[in-house]
Amino acid sequence: MSASQPDDMDIMAQEREVRAEAEAAPLVGQLLPISVLKEQYATNPGFLPKVEKLESRFRALRRTRPDGNCFYRAYLFGIFEQIAGNKERHAAFLQRAKKSLDFCVGAGYEKVAIEDFYEEFIESVESLAPEGSSASAVEALLEKNDGYLVCWARVLTSAYLKRHKEDYEPFLSSHPSIQKFCAQEVDPMNTEADHLQITALSCHLGVPVCVVYLDRSEGDSAAEHEFQAQGGGSDSEHALTSCQPVHLLYRPGHYDIIYVQ
């Protein structure tokens, strides 16, 4: 083995260091100006035109912990910010959330295996009802219940995909079935989310997601893709029209929350 080539011990040490850094990061950070991205990409000038375009449309961002759960955490945080203290949005979202246990049982989950996560999710949503709930209340809620909330979001995503497998299986490329896809890419904690997971969860919860891609693709503007909650169906899966899309900034393998002007 070449002296410059890392051995297994070196690789394991590096992986531990990366995990430790991730665990030290806040679950969801404080609001930051978009200009912090200029500092981050100062040595990668190819990104700077896209960052400058972002400044004209977005006012702030919140970084999320890079542990593989960032999409689910960021999306829920964005929803909770919108429903906190807003009676109309809160009532509509809570009504939908209360139907989700039966929905997941209908997808094949054992009730006894998931009802604790469901109950924590419902209690979390209910806690945001009082007038005056704010982002600080959402931050405290996340610190308390992050694991339960992320796990339940994964269950919802998996259940939706399984109950609509005929719509999603044609998009699979490296998994033989939706069941296998969910078992490997959705259900386990710390596995990253991609298009199928984003589409499924936004359809089930009824709140659109707009993903802004800050990557090395051509052009000087970051591409955007909105995942719309679809209407119709026996599950009453329609958009919560009073909620605005949750905007997420995507860098390869990671999602942060981003706020429009």
- Average predicted confidence (pLDDT) for the chain: 88
Which domains, ranges and CATH numbers included, belong to the chain? Answer: 25-260 (1.20.1300.20)
Residues recognised as catalytic: 67, 70, 254
Secondary structure (DSSP) of 115-154: HHHHHHHHHHHHTT-STT--HHHHHHHHHHHHHHHHHHHH
**Residue of 189, 117, 203 whose CA lies nearest to 160:** 203
Residue 236 pLDDT > 50: no
Q: Over the stretch 66-97, which tens digit does the pLDDT of each residue have?
A: 999 999 999 999 999 999 989 999 999 999 99
| Global pTM value | 0.88
What's the whole-number mean pLDDT along residues 150-167?
97
State the pLDDT at residue 29. 94
Phi/psi at 148 (5° precision): -65, -45
pLDDT score, position 65:
95
Residues paired with 168 in a beta bridge: none
User: Residue 20's pLDDT is what?
Assistant: 59
pLDDT at 247 over 70: yes
Please say if the pLDDT value at position 242 is more than 80. no
Rg (CA), the chain: 19
Q: Please say if the pLDDT value at position 163 is more than 70.
A: yes
Query: Coil, strand, or helix at residue 159?
Result: helix
> Residue 204 above 50 pLDDT?
yes
**pLDDT-based confidence at 129, cuts 50/70/90?**
confident
Output the pLDDT for position 9: 65
C-alpha–C-alpha distance, residues 245 and 253, integer Å:
21
pLDDT tens digits, 18-68: 455 567 789 999 999 999 998 888 888 778 889 989 999 999 999 999 999
pLDDT above 90: residue 239 = no
pLDDT attached to residue 241: 61
Higher model confidence: residue 206 or residue 231? 206
Helix, strand, or coil here: 19?
Answer: helix
